[in-house]
């Protein structure tokens, strides 16, 4: 049975192991991420027998056209747990939590075009921001982590997906540049 919960700092080792297994990033990368971008409540994870089976983050802080934004990042599921709805449940919980906290717009950059349909069908996201360029304003911690990550990956999609809190219109932000994608 999976325990879906809001992750806490004591979960960093298990989250780091999952991150490294799924994405191949090393300990230096995950340590930098947790040091710069972790905030309480930003991560939901499913655990089984003390190990992270799936996780996702909704990072807060950017502003687009005066609206508070969140960014879904590092959605990961161990291969043996895929197809069980864990990622969709985590994504919905991340979005509900962010919207309840007053975030107006949640965005993500899927790792590949093939994942767009998943985010559109499971989380109700639609094409919105362009990858890179001016438009969205980021906190210093995001800028620092983005420099650590380096240049944009040319193989990731050029358009970020987004969903708005009920009553918020995406038209004012559609087409704005979203520089800090950490891809």
Given a cut of 70, whether residue 12 has pLDDT beyond it is: yes
Given a cut of 80, whether residue 1 has pLDDT beyond it is: no
Q: What angle do CA 25, 27, 28 make, to 5 degrees?
A: 95
Q: Tell me the pLDDT band of 49, cut-offs 50, 70 and 90.
A: confident
Per-residue pLDDT tens digits for 70-106: 999 999 999 999 999 999 999 999 999 999 999 999 9
Q: What angle do CA 103, 33, 165 make, to 5 degrees?
A: 15
Residue ranges of domains in the chain, CATH in brackets? 3-178 (3.40.630.30)
Per-residue pLDDT tens digits for 144-172: 999 999 999 999 999 999 999 999 999 99
Q: Which of 144, 156, 158, 99 is nearest to 123 (CA)?
A: 99
């Amino acid at each position: 049975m999976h325990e879906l919960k809001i992750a806490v700092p004591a979960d960093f080792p298990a989250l780091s192991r999952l991150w490294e297994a799924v994405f191949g990033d090393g300990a230096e990368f995950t340590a930098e991420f947790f040091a710069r971008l972790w905030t309480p409540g930003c991560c939901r994870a499913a655990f089984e027998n003390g190990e992270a089976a799936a996780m996702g983050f909704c990072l807060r802080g950017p502003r687009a056209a005066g609206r508070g934004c969140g960014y879904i990042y590092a959605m990961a599921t161990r291969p043996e747990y895929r197809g069980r709805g864990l990622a969709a449940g985590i994504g919905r919980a991340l979005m509900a939590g962010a919207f309840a906290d007053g975030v107006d717009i949640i965005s993500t950059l899927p790792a590949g075009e093939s994942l767009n349909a998943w985010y559109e069908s499971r989380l109700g996201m639609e094409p919105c921001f362009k990858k890179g360029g001016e438009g969205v304003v980021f906190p210093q911690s995001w800028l620092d982590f983005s420099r650590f990550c380096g240049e944009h990956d040319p193989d990731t999609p050029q358009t970020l997906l987004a969903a708005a809190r009920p009553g918020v219109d995406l038209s004012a932000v559609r087409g704005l540049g979203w520089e800090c994608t950490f891809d």
